[in-house]
Chains A and B, each alone.
Chain A
Amino acid sequence: MSNIKYILGHFEDPDDLMHGIGKLQEGNVTIYDVFTPMPIHGIEDKLGIKRSRLGGAAFCFGLTGTFTAVLMIWYMLVYDWPMNIGGKPHFAFPDFVPIIFELTVLFCSFGMVGTYFFVNHLAPGRAPRVMDLRATNDRFVVAIDARENPYHDKIDNILKEAGAVEIKHNERKYVSYE
């Protein structure tokens, strides 16, 4: 067995890429991942990636913000130090709407973006797990795990026929940054 770990098919055009993915799937080749310089709409369905649940997370974070704000204001102005302001109710709800809203938005955004960074392993200083340097510029790259998929010549042919402009057989998974 060779030392090749990943086969990368480079496409110049997103439509060719989608065509290539279709062809690979017809040939029963499993696709490890696809790296692109821009979002490709419809690729999730093709690769069978489920809808992200970040929306639900965002909603929960927002709700947490709402309750935090209500609880905080209630504690401070009603429970801990109630003040008589012209005999008006201590819990003057309409006055608190702006801050409740702001904290909802704040918690929702930070919670959601934090979750996004966490699940995608995005963090300042994290070594980039990049398979090909041009994937962030002008190439649409399909990565195929070479160990899981034998018959590399067949894969090369499928990629070539689908319009791949370059095919790489890599012995290392990621481009080294050191």
Chain B
Amino acid sequence: MSSHHESILREPLVTGENITYARVTEDILVPVENKPNKAWWIGFIVSAIGAGLWIFAVSWTFWFGIGEWGLNKTVGWAWDITGFVWWVGIGHAGTLISAVLLLFRQNWRNSINRSAEAMTIFAVICAATYIISHMGRPWMFYWALPLPNQFGSLWVNFNSPLVWDVFAISTYFSVSLVFWYTGLLPDIATIRDRATGLRRRIYSILSFGWNGSVKTWQRFELVSLILAGVSTPLVLSVHTIVSMDFATSLVPGWHTTIFPPYFVAGAIFSGFAMVQTLLLVTRKVMNFENYITIFHIESMNKIIILTGSIVGVAYLTELFIAWYSGAEYEQYAFLNRVSGPYWWAYWTMMTCNVFTPQIFWIKKIRTSVAWSWILSIVVNIGMWFERFVIIVTSLHRDYLPSSWVMFYPSWVDVCVFIGSIGVFFTLFLLFLRVLPAIAMAEVKLLLKSSSDQAKQKLIREGKVDAGEAACYQESLEKFDSISPRVAEYEKV
């Protein structure tokens, strides 16, 4: 808060000079209150074509059945579940940023949580579409719910991880949506009070009548905290349960106890990579450099190194345990992964997930926007291959060598996947246009304690130790949004 004290040694979370509360509102609402620029339109048209492709490919699947996919008798799960797990994993970063970082009081979450949460919701939508379309008869999806029926009632089997998954994904989606929307209310009210005419009416309905009184804020903060508290175990449970879809089976390569922690780490890893992919472009196109700073990017890259390394350790542990178990099927499954016909997929996964993120140990690279973006794409690719390797290589050579096959995706598989990326970006781009991509109220909280201008003022007033002040000024070197002033300081 305003009276809250923060060490001068901490890097600023908001840069730029003469940033006032009004300026925060204006800067963040530029994309919402104005006509979109060319970059947005190009992105939107490309994504919308992708979304169209998705509608076409999914309609095709519904009409002709999943026989149109490249699946065969041996490989019954392939691109569909790969895509599902990939999207769910991507969703995890949003909740991690909004919930876990809130519990840890990491203030740098304030300017990235909104868009990361939006990303979570859109990613889970993409994941859910895979679930529905892989059912074969999607109009019977409600059979997965414990509803009374005319077969007895024949209930769902609560011992099955697939039923757990139904509960986990739907709870995760709805709780994330509620968390996101509650956080949006004050910002929607800000748009409402600045708008006129029809826009005011629409945002007025969406704002639920928010007025920012003391009690509203007091309860709002408590609600956010408790939602963060329950979302933290929730997000861990979701990918744990997704991993149990595999781990509770008896398929070699799937039946391992390492799966839950390894999947959760992988989910956070891929999620942060997707947040980087989106935010690095958003900050540039929307001119958010003062709010999403190099410090934010660097912090996310640090999480990427950490979780990437956890994933790397998990890969090695899997190999070791396969060998150490002495179980020949398990041993063969991993030998086949590393050196079988899908060796290229395995080594793509290893390279993208374990080796390349390690170059983030170099400070120059993790504070570089271009490098961060390229590596985030690499991680996204790597994590897709991880799921592909786990699913397809474990299935394609089963216990009966006469049924060993390769999996080849059909054009429908490819179109559903590319299309789901289109759906995701279409939703994200629409979000950028109609809702503030940065939580304004939360950034305003940081203005007096954590902004560069507040810290510079303290230094000018001589309220901080000179050595610490020098240390702070040095830390500003990496910021692309405030480099000129560092030079000025060195002159003095």
Contacts and interface: CB of A to CB of B under 8 A. Distances in A.
A72 B145 CA distance: 12
Interface string B141-176: 000001000001111111101011001100100110
Contact of B190 (A52, A55, A109, A136): A136
A153 to B, nearest CB: 26
Contact of B189 (A54, A113, A128, A177): A128
A109 B232 CA distance: 12
A77 B154 CA distance: 10
20 contacts: A14-B1, A33-B214, A35-B212, A36-B212, A37-B440, A38-B441, A39-B221, A80-B155, A81-B155, A83-B157, A85-B159, A98-B244, A101-B233, A109-B174, A116-B223, A120-B219, A124-B205, A124-B206, A130-B189, A133-B194
A123 interface: yes
B211 A102 contact: no
Interface string A77-90: 10011010100000
B34 interface: no
Interface in B17-53: 20-22, 25
Interface in B207-237: 207-223, 226-227, 230-231, 233-234, 237
Contacts of B164: 98-99, 102
Interface in B180-214: 182, 185-186, 189-190, 192-194, 200, 204-214
A83 B237 CA distance: 27
Nearest to B23: A138
B448 A98 contact: no
Q: Mostly helix, strand, loop or mixed at chain B's interface?
A: helix
Contacts of A44: 214, 218
A26 interface: no
A77 B444 contact: no
A5 B234 CA distance: 48
A106 B171 contact: yes
Given A42-B3, A99-B158, A129-B209, A136 B146 contact: no
Interface in A98-116: 98-99, 101-103, 105-106, 108-110, 112-113, 116
Contacts of B226: 54-55, 58, 108, 112
Contacts of A12: 20-21
Interface residues of B, number: 71
Contacts of B171: 102-103, 105-106
Contacts of B244: 98
B221 A128 contact: no
A40 B178 contact: no
A137 interface: yes
B219 A52 contact: yes
Given A102-B168, A134-B193, A73 B158 contact: yes
A134 B237 CA distance: 42
B398 interface: no
A54 B207 contact: no
Contacts of A131: 211
A126 B167 contact: no
B258 interface: no
Contact of A136 (B159, B186, B215): B186
Contact of B210 (A99, A108, A122): A122
A13 B22 CA distance: 11
Contact of A120 (B174, B190, B216, B227): B216
A39 to B, nearest CB: 4
Interface in A119-167: 119-131, 133-138
A124 B301 CA distance: 39
A54 B222 contact: yes
A102 to B, nearest CB: 4
Contact of B215 (A113, A120, A135): A120
B1 A35 contact: no
B241 interface: yes
A39 B217 contact: yes
A55 B156 CA distance: 33
A128 B2 CA distance: 27
A47 B219 contact: no
Interface string B99-135: 0000000000000000000000000000000000000
Given A58-B226, A98-B237, A177-B200, A77 B155 contact: yes
